[in-house]
Structures are given as C-alpha cells and as structure tokens.
Amino acid sequence: MDKGLTILAVDDDIINLKLIHSMLKKHTDIESVIEATNGLDALNIVKETENINLILLDIKMPVMDGIEFMENISLLPEKHNIPIIVLTTDETKKHQSFESGAFDFLVKPIREHELYEKILKIKNLL
C-alpha cells in the first residue's frame, strides 16, 4: 500500500474525536481522518466514500451505537471487510464487539502508542 491510510473515527464526544485526530495526524502513513459523531452518520460516510481503510468506533453513541453500526455495515457486501477497532470505556462490550465484527478492541483512555500499534498491524494486512 503506497498511499497513506484513510481512517474514519466515530465518537459522539467531540473532545475524544479531536484527541484521536491529533494522535493520528502525527503519523505520516495516515493520509486523512474523517470524523462522525454517531453510527448512522458513519454508515452514510462509509456508503459514500470509496477509500476508507479502517474504522475507529465508539460503542456508546446516540442515534446508532457502535454495535448497531457493525451489524449494519456487515450487510454491505462491498464494505463489510473494512477493519474496525472498537474504542470504548465499557470493557464489558468486548465479547459483543468481536461477535459483531470488530477486528480489535481498545479501552479508553486511548494511549497513542497502543492505538498506533493496532493500526500498523492492520496496515500490514492491507
């Protein structure tokens, strides 16, 4: 993969989104970060955007939560294989997240090096 990654970050907390965005923009192999504040907005972005390589997904959100988002994206044949890393404060959602299609799981507060290691693991698979 020559171009940098395009990452969709989904979180209803604007401060968390900005924090994730600033963490990711430090890395030259991340080309762009798209932001959404709930699962429904994220689903629409995924449908309309060609080149999303990875989704960072909060679980607890209004309108459509992260689990519902993963269930919905699994119904889109051309999009269901985008890797998803769940980022949440609720560790009890780990099993359900993996059952719903998550590739990886991180408990907030997010540490930049842990997040980046997981992103690199995915980038190496692309």
* pLDDT tens digits, 2-25: 579 999 999 999 999 999 999 999
User: How far apart are the C-alpha atoms of 97 and 102, rounded to whole Å?
Assistant: 5
Phi, psi angle pair for 89, to nearest 5°: -85, -15
Q: Which CATH class is domain 5-125?
A: alpha beta
- Cis amide linkage into residue 109, ω under 30° from 0: yes
pTM for this prediction: 0.95
* pLDDT tens digits, 69-95: 999 999 998 888 999 999 999 999 999
